Amino acid sequence: MQTHVVPQENLGGPLNFGAGISLAKGGGVSLSKNSGISLSKVDPSLKNVMVGAGWDVNTMGSAYDLDIQAWMLGQDGRVLSDAHFVFYNQSVSPDGSVRHSGDNRNGQGEGDDETMDITLDLVSPQINEILFTITIDNARAKGQSFGNVQNAFIRLVNKDTGNQIARYDLSGNYAGATSLIFAKLVRDNTCWNFIALGDGTQEELVNLCQRYGVNVG
């Protein structure tokens, strides 16, 4: 089976913008790996969106704690400041545009396990993209990986109407991956694009912080 654990130097493969698109479960567009959509073409008046992620864990061992993060990156691919890293312990960005819903420690229940709310008009003009990742808390110490995570998805919802705009369902072999570069919102002049990525890495949260310029002490 093909593995989707990607070496760091190979992250971010070629994008098939507008390709690999079909109808999604729950409405909207179904995205495939490295495909994307233009939000201005979907709804030019779109202002408030929710990014939701969900998963199921297939294991009889130690409990898994998965967390979503948002990295607000400039043109250099690094956060503008430590405060532009939004996660369960820093739930609101400096400009108030990105808000974390809180930490779901067990991933139980239907639908979204964790969400981010984004007010597009409030995003600082210095931000080029908002990258969404999922990590497993203390994955290496617990011997855990995304190989035991099933039915993972990320979706984009019009927060004002509740309508799902796009959804990406993860598929493939992610054994050995301890973090997931899941999707991103990318600024395109005055518009935004939502792009599915689905790159698994063997990094943990501290390694992602180092890569994207967050000081970890």
Q: pLDDT of 16-53, one tens digit each?
A: 555 555 666 778 999 999 999 999 998 888 999 999 99
In this predicted structure, the answer to whether residue 58 has a pLDDT above a threshold of 80 is no
Mean pLDDT of 44-70: 90
In this predicted structure, the answer to whether residue 168 has a pLDDT above a threshold of 60 is yes
Containing structural domain, residue 183: 8-212
55 in a structural domain: yes
107 in a structural domain: yes
Mean pLDDT of 126-154: 95
Interatomic CA distance for residues 38 and 175, integer angstroms: 32
Interatomic CA distance for residues 131 and 63, integer angstroms: 26
Dihedral (Cα; 157, 158, 161, 167), 10-degree rounding: -30
Average pLDDT over all residues of the chain: 88
Lowest mean pLDDT among 58-67, 136-145, 205-214: 58-67
CATH number at residue 146: 2.60.60.30
What's the pLDDT score for residue 111?
87
188 in a structural domain: yes
Residue bearing the bigger pLDDT, 80 or 62: 80
Dihedral (Cα; 74, 6, 198, 18), 10-degree rounding: 80
The total number of structural domains that make up the chain: 1
31 in a structural domain: yes
Interatomic CA distance for residues 73 and 54, integer angstroms: 24
2 in a structural domain: no
Supply the pTM of this predicted model: 0.88
Mean pLDDT of 112-139: 97
What's the pLDDT score for residue 21?
54
Mean pLDDT of 116-120: 98
In this predicted structure, the answer to whether residue 106 has a pLDDT above a threshold of 50 is no
3 in a structural domain: no
By percentage, how much of the chain surpasses pLDDT 70?
84
In this predicted structure, the answer to whether residue 15 has a pLDDT above a threshold of 80 is no
199 in a structural domain: yes
